[in-house]
């Protein structure tokens, strides 16, 4: 056995992060206990849609959100400057949207714990969100094929599809069904890692190659 599934140790303290910022609404410029949506959208270099269309469709999706929106800047991938330019222009015309270059880990996780739902294509929508029972609309192909919890609704990069997905995650019954189970978190993660590192192994067996006839897989 060459691979041991242990879970992600960096996610073990999410519950602590969630309560580490008691004044999260104030720091986000919101009224106390005001509903808000967390949005994060990055360029996807392998998408058939051009970067211009990617950001355009995403902003069309934001038009469907009634609550205040906390929008974080895109990562430094190719076309991020284009995305940021469009974000700033959109924020200038929509007073319900607040743009942050970065919230930092503590404030970001605290925001995830309080948000009504999350919209975009960030890996945090798959990795961390389930622990907070946070409904997520995952847009497009950037995270395609990755494991995620039942809190995530995938949709195409299409304005109508985004609208439909928002309707699904904001339905009262959707959040009720969420369990908080995160496929990336295990209570025995550290124990499994230490066990893997300290268990003696047979080097000859570990390095031995196994031939698998591809015809048997047909």
Phi-psi category of 104—alpha, beta or left, where left has phi over 0 and alpha has psi -120 to 50? left
User: Do residues 135 and 169 make contact, with C-beta atoms less than 8 angstroms apart?
Assistant: yes
DSSP state string for 86-138: HHHHHHHH-TTEEEES--HHHHHHHHHHH-SEEEE--THHHHTGGGGT--EEE
User: Do residues 127 and 11 make contact, with C-beta atoms less than 8 angstroms apart?
Assistant: yes
Sheet holding 69-72, edge to edge: 97-100, 69-72, 37-40, 117-120, 136-139, 152-155
Question: Tokens 């908080």 identify what position?
Answer: 180
Domains recognised in the chain with CATH numbers: 13-176 (3.40.50.2000)
Structure tokens at 218: 């047909």
Helix (H) / strand (E) element for 57: namely helix 51-62
pLDDT band per the 50, 70, 90 thresholds, residue 11: confident
User: Do residues 42 and 125 make contact, with C-beta atoms less than 8 angstroms apart?
Assistant: no
Q: What is the pTM of this model?
A: 0.87
pLDDT value of residue 217: 67
pLDDT for residue 171 is more than 70: yes
**What is the tens place of the pLDDT at every residue in 148-169?**
999 999 999 999 999 999 999 9
User: Do residues 210 and 153 make contact, with C-beta atoms less than 8 angstroms apart?
Assistant: no
């Amino acid at each position: 056995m060459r691979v041991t599934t242990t879970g992600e140790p960096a996610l073990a303290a999410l519950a602590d992060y969630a309560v580490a910022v008691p004044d999260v609404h104030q720091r986000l410029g919101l009224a106390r206990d005001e509903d808000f949506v967390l949005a994060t959208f990055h360029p996807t270099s392998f998408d058939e849609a051009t970067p211009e269309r990617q950001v355009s469709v995403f902003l069309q999706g934001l038009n469907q959100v009634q609550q205040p929106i906390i929008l974080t800047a895109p990562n430094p991938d190719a076309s991020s400057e284009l995305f940021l330019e469009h974000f700033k222009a959109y924020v200038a015309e929509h007073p319900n949207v607040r743009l942050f270059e970065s919230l930092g880990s503590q404030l970001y996780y605290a925001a995830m714990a309080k948000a009504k739902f999350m919209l975009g294509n960030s890996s945090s929508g798959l990795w961390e969100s389930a622990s907070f029972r946070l409904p997520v609309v995952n847009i497009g192909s950037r995270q395609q094929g990755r494991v995620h919890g039942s809190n995530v609704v995938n949709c195409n990069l299409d304005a109508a599809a985004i609208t439909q997905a928002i309707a699904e995650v904001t339905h009262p019954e959707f959040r009720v069904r969420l369990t908080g189970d995160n496929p990336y978190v295990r209570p025995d993660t550290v124990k499994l890692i230490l066990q893997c590192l300290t268990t003696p192994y047979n080097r000859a067996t570990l390095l031995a190659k196994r031939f698998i006839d591809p015809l048997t897989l047909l």
